[in-house]
Amino acid sequence: MRETFLPFSPPLIGEEEIGEVIDTLRSDWITTGPKTKRFESEFARFLKAPGALALNSCTAGLHTALVTLGVGPGDEVITTPMTFAASVNVIEHVGARPVLVDVEPDTLNIDPVKVEAAITPKTKAIIPVHYGGHPVDLDLLYALAEANGLAILEDAAHALPAKYKGRWIGSGKNPVAFSFYATKNLTTAEGGMLTGDPEFLGRSRIIALHGMSRDAWKRYDKGGSWFYEVVLPGFKYNMTDIQAALGLWQLKKLEAFQRRRRQVVEAYNRAFGQEEALEIPVERVEVEHAWHLYVLRLRPGALSIGRDQFIEELKHRNLGTSVHFIPIHLHPYYREKYGYKPEDFPVAYSNYTRMLSLPLNPKLSDQDVADVIEAVLDVVEKFRR
């Protein structure tokens, strides 16, 4: 057994990021400035996206995009219960009604068949979440959106970098929101990015900075004008150059980070793939998984303990884990407001009760990976029926 605790998902920050942050602190710009603009440009180039807008979170990207799309009171937005609350909170923030539909049993992504059944005359948009880094079935969703005049806003908090049928998630003209939270594949500590059509992002940029017609950099840089106008009541969602300094180097390292993530995934799959008590995550042939999460599922009836005790057993073996996610309809706010019952979304609920996320990050050593495998299999053997 390990002698020290293995954290679930620590960031991997190198001297390059530290040096870039120090350079920023010694410069004239620590808030939104030249490094943020550079990060936007390099991020868009990496994904072959038509444009990118750096923000202080993925939540900000989702909220800003909904406002830009004109979603508001009286509208409905379809999304998944198998996500973090932010994906649904932003629908509440604009005064619209979130409409949850269940997920597919293999990928745990939103089920396009159930999406079609949930569309009403009030439906304005769909927010699919690329769960764990596995892209949703975008062809079916976009066909539904086109047939019904709906917008699609992709929640790609987990999906950097991921591909659907050979194209990067975030490379199209539709709005796609990414997260750079501390646990993500690329981190700026806190932060996010919205990609999409440049005209759409131009309107989003105004919404995301107080509704001002000019941002600070353009006003205070040499040759800038002091004059600005507030054209709408916007928000304060801008990314800082300190955050962007981290992002510039994290982006350079992302391909190497992903190679390590895949090595860890392959080791886990080899170890757990033939174990009848465990169900490993899938990767459909038409996608390239970002592998933000490695979600292991316990097969019903195979063990004498449930998921919660399994996690406790791993904790006793000095392994950090997590659960992604407690479905939206189980949280008090949504349960009480909309009268949800656990069985309303049976696929999401039944999978939630038997899932746990194992450590998956590029900081893991071969010994760390071996320790995780040994601990998981030891718990399985100890509690096998």
- Judgement on whether residues 273 and 194 belong to the same structural domain of the protein: no
What is the number of domains present in the chain?
2
Q: Are 53 and 201 in contact (CB under 8 A)?
A: yes
pLDDT at position 225: 73
- Tell me the per-residue pLDDT of 266-282, one tens digit each, with 9 for 90 and over: 999 999 999 999 999 99
Residue after which a domain boundary falls, among 251, 278, 310 = 251
Residue after which a domain boundary falls, among 251, 272, 297 = 251
- Per cent of the chain over pLDDT 70 is 97
- Name the band, by pLDDT with cuts 50, 70 and 90, for residue 7: very high
DSSP 273: T
Instruction: Please give the mean pLDDT across all residues of the chain.
Output: 97
pLDDT at 213 over 90: no
pLDDT at 216 over 70: no
Selected catalytic residue, list 184, 222, 252, 363: 184
Residue after which a domain boundary falls, among 224, 251, 278 = 251
- Alpha-carbon dihedral 209, 172, 144, 109, rounded to 10 degrees: -80
pLDDT at 44 over 90: yes
184 is catalytic: yes
Q: What is the CATH number of the domain that holds 77?
A: 3.40.640.10
- Judgement on whether residues 151 and 169 belong to the same structural domain of the protein: yes
Per the listing, tokens 């995550």 go with 281
- Judgement on whether residues 264 and 201 belong to the same structural domain of the protein: no
- Name the band, by pLDDT with cuts 50, 70 and 90, for residue 226: confident
Domain membership of residue 5 (yes or no) is no
Domain that holds residue 363: 254-382
- Tell me the per-residue pLDDT of 135-155, one tens digit each, with 9 for 90 and over: 999 999 999 999 999 999 999
- Name the band, by pLDDT with cuts 50, 70 and 90, for residue 228: confident
Domain membership of residue 102 (yes or no) is yes
Per the listing, tokens 């923000």 go with 55
- Judgement on whether residues 54 and 201 belong to the same structural domain of the protein: yes
- Tell me the per-residue pLDDT of 325-356, one tens digit each, with 9 for 90 and over: 999 999 999 999 999 999 999 999 999 999 99
**Interval 290-317 mean pLDDT:** 98
Domain membership of residue 270 (yes or no) is yes
pLDDT at 221 over 90: no
- Per cent of the chain over pLDDT 90 is 95
pLDDT at position 254: 98
**Interval 299-311 mean pLDDT:** 98
Per the listing, tokens 């899938």 go with 282
Closest CA to 143 of 170, 181, 116, 171: 116
Q: Tell me the two tokens of residue 316.
A: 């006793």
The whole-model pTM stands at 0.97
- Judgement on whether residues 246 and 261 belong to the same structural domain of the protein: no
- Tell me the per-residue pLDDT of 21-31, one tens digit each, with 9 for 90 and over: 999 999 999 99
pLDDT at position 222: 63
154 contact partners, CB below 8 Å, separation of at least 6:
127, 128, 130, 136, 138, 169, 170, 174, 175, 176, 177
